[in-house]
Structure 1
Amino acid sequence: MAKRNNDNQSIQDILKEFVETNNLQSGLDKVDVREAWTKLMGNGVNNYTTAIELKNGTLYVQLSSSVLREELSYGREKIVKMLNESLRKDVVKKLVLR
């Protein structure tokens, strides 16, 4: 009968190791960015948001209102900063509004 290894690890450490081993961090970042956008922008902007996609550090946000797109384009750097602060790491490098 095999003997059990008695090293105790926290669930947080085990999950972190699992994510790193299976290269899941980029997928988790995509989900986290979508949630952060929804939370930070509120219902007014979310009603006009049709697609959110993170690729290679660039966040592509598709909006159905050209007026809103123009308005948000003035605060791109601030939005990127707010998203990264919400995520507690630098995930978004650039914001592209379509």
Structure 2
Amino acid sequence: MAKRLNDESPIGDVLKEFIRSNNLQNGIDKIDVREAWKNLMGNGVNNYTREIMLKHEVLYVELTSAVLREELSYGREKIIKMINEELGREVVKDVVLR
């Protein structure tokens, strides 16, 4: 059972405890990574992005352009760093471009 927070607990603390006690962080991370990709990459890359999926700290991105996939593969470390900075913690450890 989750610990009881007092009546004056900030809503942020209550939500963090709820997320932790119900094991919801992985699902929230998946949504946050998708949003971070869309914000960081812009319309040019998003037009060629078919699917974005996070599994076990690995970000899988399916692209419709082989040329774009090759170009982005050179900046994989930068992509990882930018997404983790956007989220404020280390969520992504590797990127697989398909």
Instruction: Give the TM-score category using the shorter length.
Output: over 0.9
TM-score, normalisation: structure 1? 0.93
Cα deviation digits, residues 4-43 of structure 1 (max 9, x gap): x964111001100000010000000000000000000000
Gaps of at least 5 residues in structure 2 are none
Aligned length: 94
Q: Are 2:84 and 1:94 equivalent residues in the alignment?
A: no
Find the residue that maps to 1:72 and give its secondary structure.
helix
CA distance in 2, matches of 1:7, 1:18: 15
Query: CA, structure 1 residues 9+40, in 2 after alignment: closer, same or farther (shift >3 Å)?
Result: same
TM-score, normalisation: structure 2? 0.93
Following TM superposition, the consecutive aligned residue runs of length 4 or more in structure 1 with deviations greater than 2 angstroms are none
Give 1:85's aligned residue. Answer: 85
CA distance in 2, matches of 1:82, 1:6: 37
Query: CA, structure 1 residues 59+47, in 2 after alignment: closer, same or farther (shift >3 Å)?
Result: same
CA distance in 2, matches of 1:72, 1:13: 38
Gaps of at least 5 residues in structure 1 are none
CA distance in 2, matches of 1:75, 1:9: 43
RMSD: 1.2
The structure that has the greater radius of gyration is 1
